[in-house]
Amino acid sequence: MKKLFVLMLLLVGCGDGALSVDYTEVENVDPLFEDRPVLALHEVRIPSVDGEIVEATAIESHDGIFLEGDILIEPEHLVETQEGDLQTRTNELAALHTNLWPNRVVPYVIASSARHRRADIEAAINVWNNKTNLRIRKKRASDTHFVRFEKVASGCSANIGRQAKVTKVYIANNCDRGAIRHEIGHAIGLWHTQSRTDRSKYVKINWDNIKSGNAYNFKTYKGQGFGPYSRNVGSYQYGSLMHYSSYAFSRNGKPTIVKRGKTGSARLIKPSRKLTDGDAARVNKLYPK
């Protein structure tokens, strides 16, 4: 992986082989999907429960490998196949899929790079602590697993659920409190709402408006082979903190994902980035008292 990464950097240095993402023409740009430089696209092979190999597409950027815009995959969870593809190391996204935090306790640290965002980070944490059964609290010396908030140059992103040691939440300068709340949602184990396997009952995808090469971001978790890990917990809510906005990955300023059965502005999904009662209920089902 390291070799691959260096190779990609060289390609960029030569001005060749690099794809660029330009979201500047998109209305309502969401910091969750903003201009993260794309160094490479990877087909990630994910064995599913029924033995089928499913391919998802991930982007490689300066600060990691990402699925669905802001879901950060740790390189140690991937292996390079002889054909040069990436494959998840273990079956059925075991390493990538949600690892819940034991005893509902989520220790965290704020890296020195992100200390200037302490007030925003703590405000976002307080929302989760006040509305759910979780206890997100400062790391103690005895905590072996924890969330670390770090500053990055662009984009807001996070791992899904508890990782081997450090679960990262990356925060660029334009990631506001709502975006930080969203990323904490990933860190505690939530995937994106619009990727639920039952989403087609609620939303319609306008494939023609999706930026070239980005259709993979709109697959359902069934389509991505996540099977029983899709976590279709609770009711489907358009206002969910974990839902894409209607303009996510738009190539032309037109909506990419809209409410089914609605027209005009009523069809648009504009996540408030607030933690809804539905989100809280979802989390409390994952973390019962």
Can you give the binding site for Zn ion, defined by CB under 5 A? 70
Using CA atoms, how far apart are residues 92 and 88, in angstroms rounded to an integer?
8
Nearer to Zn ion, 70 or 279 (CB): 70
- Residue 137 or 274: the one with the smaller Cβ distance to Zn ion is 274
Active-site residue identified among 34, 60, 92, 183:
183
Write out 164-208 in H/E/C secondary structure: CCEEEEEECCCCCHHHHHHHHHHHCCCCCHHHCCCHHHCEEECHH
What are the phi and psi torsion angles at 286 (to 5°)?
-75, -30
Could you give the CA distance from residue 99 to residue 133 in angstroms, rounded to a whole number?
16
Residue with Cβ nearer Zn ion (63 or 70):
70
Shortest distance, CB of residue 233 to Zn ion, whole angstroms? 16
- Written as six digits, the tokens of 160 are 């899904």
DSSP state of 130: H
Write down the least CB distance from residue 190 to Zn ion, Å: 8
Q: What is the DSSP letter of 217?
A: G
The distance of closest approach from Cβ of residue 176 to Zn ion in the complex, given in angstroms and rounded to an integer, is 14
Whether the Cβ atoms of residue 137 and residue 108 lie closer than 8 Å to each other: yes
Q: Report the alpha-carbon distance of residue 243 to residue 237 in Å, rounded.
A: 8
Nearest distance in Å: CB 264, Zn ion: 27
Cβ proximity to Zn ion, 170 vs 202, nearer residue: 170
Q: Which residue type does 162 have?
A: R
Question: Is the Cβ of residue 12 or residue 197 nearer to Zn ion in the bound state?
Answer: 197
Minimum distance of Zn ion from residue 276's CB (angstroms):
15
- Smallest distance from Zn ion to CB 127, Å: 16
Catalytic site includes residue 183: yes
Could you tell me where the beta strands, DSSP code E, fall in the chain? 40-47, 53-61, 64-67, 71-73, 78-80, 86-88, 105-110, 135-138, 146-151, 156-158, 166-171, 203-205, 257-259
The residue (of 87 and 195) whose beta carbon lies closer to Zn ion is 195
Residue nearest to Zn ion as judged by C-beta position: 70
Q: CA–CA separation, 216 vs 172, rounded Å?
A: 24
Q: Distance between CA 268 and CA 280 in Å, rounded?
A: 23
Give the chain's length. 289
Q: Which residues pair with 221 in a beta bridge?
A: none
Q: Which residues are catalytic?
A: 183
